[in-house]
Structure formats: C-alpha cells, structure tokens
Amino acid sequence: MDKIRIVGGAPLNGVIPISGAKNAALPLMIGSLLTKETLTLENMPLLADVTQLERILGNHGVDFSISGKRRGETENAGRTVHFTAREIVDTTAPYELVSRMRASFWVFAPLLARMGECRVSLPGGCAIGTRPVDLLLMALEKLGAKIDIENGYVVGSARNGLVGGDITFDKVTVGGTHVALMAASLARGTTVLRNAAREPEIVDLADCLTKMGARISGAGTSTIEIEGVTSLSGARHTVMPDRIEAGTYAMAVAMTGGDVLLAGARADLFQAAVDALVAAGVKVTETNEGLRVSRNGSGLAAVDVTTAPFPDFPTDLQAQFMALMTRAKGVSRITETIFENRFMHVQELARLGAHIRLDGDTAIVTGADHLEGAPVMATDLRASVSLVIAALAARGETTINRVYHLDRGFERLEKKLSDCGAQIERISGHG
C-alpha cells in the first residue's frame, strides 16, 4: 500500500486550485439515471470514489465519455464527463459494488422513479458510524413506493409510478434530501420536503435537475417544493467547488504559516469554518480568483467549535480543525454532533505529540509547543488529511500509512502541497 512521507516545517506559499466537489459530483452523476438524454458535467474531480461510481453506473447501462483538454487549459481544470443512460439494462445494484461506497445506494431513487422497480444492496458498515438508510426509504414510501428487505437487498416497486407527497424528515439528512429530490422530480403531482438539508451540494443538485426540466423551489432552505414532470432532458452543468477541500487547505496554510491563494474557493460555502479560522488569528480575504489565506509568524488562538448541519461548522472539517488546534495557545473544545466514532484520528495525532482528552462527544485540545514526526495510520478520509496537516508542522519526518483513504476525496494532494513548498512525497507500496 502507498504511504505519504512528510518532512514538516516548511510554510506554504503559492496557489492551490480547488477541485470540483466530490459530495456534489456523486449525486449529480447518479442523477444521470433519470433521463435518456446526455448529462454533461464539467469540473469533475478525478477521485477514487468518482471512478467507483462510474463503474456502478456502467452496470446499470450508463455510457460515459470524457472530453479531452482544450488547448490552453491547465491540468488543474476539472474534467468534462458526458453520462448517457439511454436505456437501463439492469435495475439491480449488487453488494460487491455498493459495499465499497455508501453513496452508491442513492441509485435506488432514480431507478425506482424511472423504471418503477429496483433492487439495491444494503450498504453495510462504515468506519464513522451507522449512517442508516431508513430516512431515505421513508421518503420513497411517502412517494408511494412499496419497499421490502430481502436477503440483504432493499427491493422497491412503484408499478404505476411515484406520486407526490409530504415528507418530513425527523432529522436533517443530506442523503435523504438528495434521494427525495431525484425521486420527486419524476413523481406525479407535488412533493414538499420539510426539515430538508440546506447544504450547498443540495442546491447544486437542484440547480442541475432544474436545467434538466425539473420544477424545484426552495433548495437551500429547510422547505423544498418539487412539482413532478413526466420526463427529464439532458443538460450541461458545472460541479461546484469543493468546500471541504478548500477548508482543508486553508487549515494547512494556517498550520504552517505562509500565504496561499485557494483558486476557485468560495467563502460562502463554508463560512462557519472561515469564521473559526479568523477567530484563531488567520487572515482570509476574498478575491476575484478565490480565497487568499495567510498567517504570519504570530501564534494561533484556541477556538471552540461544534459540528452541525449547514450552515454551521461542517463535520467533514472537524478532524482538520482539531489538528490545527493542537498548536494553538490555550485550550479548545471540539464537539462532534453528527457522527459517532469520528474521533479516530485522536490517538494518531497523540503519536505526533498532541495533547487531546476525550469527554463524550467533545475533544478537549491543549495546544502543544511543537509536534514531532512519527509513523501514523489513516483510519478514514478526513482523519487521514488531519494527519497531513499536523505532519506539515511537525519537527522531522512523518510517514502516513493507508493513504488510499485520501485518494477517495483529495485530487493530487501531494502535488498541490509540494507546488506550494511542502516537503511531501508518495512512496508506492506493494501488497
């Protein structure tokens, strides 16, 4: 398995291009199942999860082609991918494909809406908690679907098509909101989603579906109304910039010092995290090209954060912010309210010299004078990148094992960081 080797201590200076958002790209790709026509997605990131979902969609009959780069385009411009689901050849999503990536379970909604039937494997476990699918299935039942669970598969049928309904989520669910948006777009009549997720990725999906002919109002608020249509057409849509990647690199600059332009980043997509960085003493400036993040030699101040659904502090930046707080002056409290088991990076950060004590769903971080390089192990995507941030500021050399997690969510991480002066390299392993 590949490892990443980092020698800490170098400040970051330069430009880091922000890729298209993974968490927007995946539901947009799944939305291609809703139409016979071609859906063209621009600014697609090149990530392991995207490649895996292309395989899953191919299993259902989706053809995809990648546009070549135009002359004058840099390698940092995202790919343009065309998805065409002219006919659905298989309405079953097998365990061996779904088990590798939870988001692939969402194919349930467009298959059911378009074909009136589907059979999708339950996704299985996940390193950061249970993430149940019951809210997704409840939403589809409210649209008239009949749902059974047989031998580890969820079997859905709506022989006469889905019918609009009133769906109230008892807790905010991004997956449930994505699924309901897709299914309701082809349901007869009007659907109202209450307590819907407000994440920017929801807005991105709604914008794309609207271009395809869906009638959606209220995306980005907690009440979304969808007036069903009989069919959707193809469209062309640009994937939004990745707010989690932007936040991650902003924290890396804050950790090491330096001055970096995050090209294409937008503060409004992760304002709560930007506010936390500013409170810690980091300078964040919006420009026409993106966000400029800088920190001179002054120290970091301790800041308390609590994760919560958008627009509050994102759970997907919690590990990275904790890494940053290991070097802050004073004591910070980081509370995780979204996922259980999301503190698995704590013991690995401790190997680098971090002082962190857990108290239920809160991590109490006492800033250390310095961190020391050490061999560490990545446990999940966000945990692994928090170790990168810590290693960039640690004395000496850190080796991060199991970096395949990183490839799921960060495009060309080593190149983006090394282009700004980080001493970072990937060591290819075998077996």
For the annotated catalytic residues, the residue numbers are: 126
| Cα 202-204-209 angle, rounded to 5 deg | 95
Q: Is 134 annotated as a binding residue?
A: yes
Q: Is 56 annotated as a binding residue?
A: no
Are the beta carbons of 321 and 184 closer than 8 angstroms? no
At which residue do the structure tokens 């430009």 appear?
A: 15
Are the beta carbons of 304 and 332 closer than 8 angstroms? yes
Q: Is 316 annotated as a binding residue?
A: yes
The DSSP output letter for 78 is P
Q: Are strands 38-44 and 79-84 parallel, antiparallel or unpaired?
A: antiparallel
d(CA 220, CA 105): 23
The DSSP string of 276-304 is: HHHHTT-EEEE-SSEEEEEE-SSPPBP--
| Cα 199-201-206 angle, rounded to 5 deg | 105
Q: Specify the DSSP element, H or E, that contains 23.
A: helix 22-31
Which segments of 280-379 does DSSP mark as H helices, in order? Answer: 318-325, 346-351
Q: Specify the DSSP element, H or E, that contains 53.
A: helix 48-60
The DSSP output letter for 18 is P
Q: Is 132 annotated as a binding residue?
A: yes
Q: Is 338 annotated as a binding residue?
A: yes
β-partners of residue 291 are 262, 286
Q: Is 23 annotated as a binding residue?
A: yes
* Annotated binding-site positions for UDP-N-acetyl-alpha-D-glucosamine: 102, 131-135, 316, 338
Residues annotated in a binding site: 22-23, 102, 131-135, 316, 338
Annotated binding site for phosphoenolpyruvate: 22-23
